[in-house]
A and B are shown apart, each in its own frame.
Chain A
C-alpha cells in the first residue's frame, strides 16, 4: 500500500512539474540554453555561492554583476567544470555539467579571468593546440577566427611578445574556435581601452544576432553592463539578489517607467490607484507595456484630464540598484 501511495504521489508531482514546465515554455516560447538550479558552493563552512538559480536564453547576453568577491568567478568556475558543485546542478544545452561533463563542455567557449596562453608558443600554435582538443575544427576555421579578432600576421609571433589587448583577442579567438552555443567571459573588459570595449560590445551583439550564441559575461562595472547586456543578474555575498531584463528580444531598450504630464497630477493618481500609479515631480509615473500605456491614456482623457506629454523614463541601473539595496552600492 505505501508503495502505491508513493507512486501516486510521484505521478502527481510529475504532473505538476510538467504543467509548470509547459507553462514556462508557452510563456517564453523557448527552452533556456543554460539553467542553474540551486547552485551552491561551500568550502569547509564558508558559503561562496548560495542557492543561485537562473536561466540564460539562446541568443541572449546575460550580465553577471557584483563586487569583487561576491561569487562571480566561483559561479563561472562551476559552470565550466573547474570547480565542483556542492549542491544543485548546472544544465547546458540539456546536459548536466556534473553527470555529462564532456557533452556539456562541448557547447561552452570561455575565458576565465585573464586569458593566459602558452607564452612560448606562437598565437597560431595556441589556437592549434585548442583546436586539436575539439571535434571538426578545420585549418580554414582557425584562419577565419584569426581574421575575426584582427590579429593578422602577428598570430605567428610568440605570445610572450603580445600586449594585453592582443592576448585578450587571442583569448576570444580560442573561445570561439568551435562555435560554442554559450560564450562565457569573465571580466572581459579588464585591460581593454575604450575602443576595444566598444569593439567587443559590437562583436558580441553580432554574435548573438547572427549565430544565436548566448553570452554570459561577468563584470563589476555597472555602466558597461548596462550598455552590453540584455539581462542582468546581480550577485552579492554569494546570493543572487535580482534579475532584470534591460532589452527586448529585438535589442530595444526596455523602459521601466512611463511619465504622464497632466494638468492635475493628484486627480490622475487617484483615478489610476488600481495600477499603482505614483505622482513624482509633478508627473504621473506608471509601469507597463505599450498597450497598457495607451489604455491609461484613454482612461485619463476619458475622465476629462488633459494629457500634455507621455515619455518613457530610463533611470540608470545604478539608481535602480541603489534603491533596491537601500543606498548601499552594488558595486565596489
Chain B
C-alpha cells in the first residue's frame, strides 16, 4: 500500500523534475546562494561565516518562496489547464490520495530548496569567510544556531505560503491567481498585521498574518503581542489543517468538466 503510494509520489516528482523550468529555478537558487557570499566578500566587510550565511539566506528565502509557490500553484491547476486531469483521475485511486501525493511532492520540493540554501550558502560562506572572526557573538552578528534556526523558521513560513498557493490552485484551477494571491499575502502580511493589531482588536491575535514568521521567537520567548511560541504554532497548525481540508473537499467533490 505504502509502496504503491510512493509510486504516485514518484509520478508527481517526474512531472516536476522533467521540466526545464524546475531546473532553471533550482540553478538560480544555487547561483544566488553562492553569489551572495561572493558579493559580500568583495565589499571587504568584516563579517564572520554565520552572519554572511544569515544575510544570504534572508535574501534567497524569497527565491525559495517564489519558486515553491510556482510549483504549488501549478501542481493541481496545471493538470486542469492541460486537460491531463481527466486521465489522472480515471485511475483506480481515490482523489484524496492523488491530492496527497501532489502535496507530498510539493513538500519534497520545499525541502530540496531548503537543502540547496543550506549546503550552497554555508559552503560558499565557509570558503570565503572561514578565517574571519568578524563580530561574531557581538551585536549584529549571528551564531551557527541562530542562523540555522532562522532557516528553519523561514522554511516554515514558505511552507505556509505555498500551502495557501496549493489551496488556491485547487479551488480556482488557475495557477496565475494562486501565485498572485499567495505572494501578495507574503509581501503584504506586515501591513495587515499593523492594521489588525491585537492591541486594538482582541480577536486579531487569531489571524494568520501575525504568526507565519516565527523568527521573532529567536530573539525573545514572548511574541510581539504577548503570545507565546506554543500559541503561534497552534494557530499555524489549525490554519494549515483548514487549508488542507478545503483543498481536499473541493478536489474530491468537484465534477471534472470540459
A residues neighboring B (CB under 8 Å): 43, 73, 77, 80-84, 101-103, 105-106, 108, 110-121, 125, 128-130, 132-135, 174
B19 touches A120 (CB 8 A): yes
Question: Knowing A82-B86, A120-B19 touch, does A132 contact B93 (C-beta < 8 A)?
Answer: no
A84 touches B255 (CB 8 A): yes
Q: Determine how close the nearest CB of chain A comes to the CB of B253; give it in whole angstroms.
A: 8
Question: Knowing A129-B11, A130-B87, A130-B91 touch, does A119 contact B257 (C-beta < 8 A)?
Answer: no
A117 touches B87 (CB 8 A): yes
Q: In the complex, which of the residues B10, B89, B92 contacts A134, with contact meaning CB atoms closer than 8 Å?
A: B92
Task: Kindly list chain A residues whose C-beta atoms are within 8 Å of the C-beta of B258.
Answer: 73, 113
B82 at the interface (CB under 8 A from A): yes
A138 to B84, CA, bound (A): 23
Q: In the complex, which of the residues A82, A103, A174 contacts B255, with contact meaning CB atoms closer than 8 Å?
A: A82
Task: Kindly list chain B residues whose C-beta atoms are within 8 Å of the C-beta of A77.
Answer: 255-257
A115 to B82, CA, bound (A): 10
B7 touches A132 (CB 8 A): yes
Question: Knowing A83-B255, A83-B256 touch, does A133 contact B7 (C-beta < 8 A)?
Answer: yes
A199 to B255, CA, bound (A): 33
**9 closest pairs, A vs B, by CB?**
A116-B83, A82-B256, A133-B91, A105-B92, A132-B7, A106-B92, A80-B90, A83-B255, A102-B92
B90 touches A118 (CB 8 A): no
Apart from A83-B257, A121-B15, what 13 extra A-B contacts exist at CB < 8 Å?
A73-B258, A77-B257, A81-B89, A82-B255, A101-B94, A105-B92, A114-B83, A116-B86, A118-B84, A121-B18, A128-B14, A130-B87, A133-B8
B residues neighboring A (CB under 8 Å): 4, 7-8, 10-11, 14-15, 18-20, 82-84, 86-87, 89-94, 253, 255-258
A118 touches B15 (CB 8 A): yes
A133 to B87, CA, bound (A): 11
B86 touches A112 (CB 8 A): yes
B86 touches A119 (CB 8 A): no
Question: Knowing A77-B256, A130-B87 touch, does A103 contact B92 (C-beta < 8 A)?
Answer: yes
Q: Determine how close the nearest CB of chain A comes to the CB of B98; give it in whole angstroms.
A: 9
A112 to B11, CA, bound (A): 21
Task: Kindly list chain B residues whose C-beta atoms are within 8 Å of the C-beta of A121.
Answer: 14-15, 18
Task: Kindly list chain B residues whose C-beta atoms are within 8 Å of the C-beta of A108.
Answer: 90
Which residue on B lies nearest to A108, using beta carbons?
B90
Task: Kindly list chain A residues whose C-beta atoms are within 8 Å of the C-beta of B4.
Answer: 135
Task: Kindly list chain A residues whose C-beta atoms are within 8 Å of the C-beta of B91.
Answer: 105, 130, 133-134
B10 touches A132 (CB 8 A): yes
Task: Kindly list chain B residues whose C-beta atoms are within 8 Å of the C-beta of A111.
Answer: 87
Q: In the complex, which of the residues B14, B20, B83 contacts A129, with contact meaning CB atoms closer than 8 Å?
A: B14
A116 touches B92 (CB 8 A): no
Which residue on B lies nearest to A112, using beta carbons?
B86
Task: Kindly list chain A residues whose C-beta atoms are within 8 Å of the C-beta of B256.
Answer: 77, 82-83
Which residue on A lies nearest to B21, using beta carbons?
A120
Which residue on B lies nearest to A184, using beta carbons?
B90
A132 to B87, CA, bound (A): 13
Give 13 CB contacts A-B under 8 Å.
Answer: A81-B89, A82-B90, A84-B253, A112-B86, A115-B87, A118-B84, A119-B82, A120-B18, A120-B19, A120-B20, A125-B18, A132-B10, A133-B7
Task: Kindly list chain B residues whose C-beta atoms are within 8 Å of the C-beta of A81.
Answer: 89-90
Task: Kindly list chain B residues whose C-beta atoms are within 8 Å of the C-beta of A132.
Answer: 7-8, 10-11
A103 to B93, CA, bound (A): 9
Q: Determine how close the nearest CB of chain A comes to the CB of B141; give it in whole angstroms.
A: 46
A113 touches B84 (CB 8 A): no
A130 to B87, CA, bound (A): 8
Q: Determine how close the nearest CB of chain A comes to the CB of B9; give it in whole angstroms.
A: 10
A118 to B19, CA, bound (A): 11
A117 to B87, CA, bound (A): 8
A130 to B92, CA, bound (A): 11
A31 to B84, CA, bound (A): 33
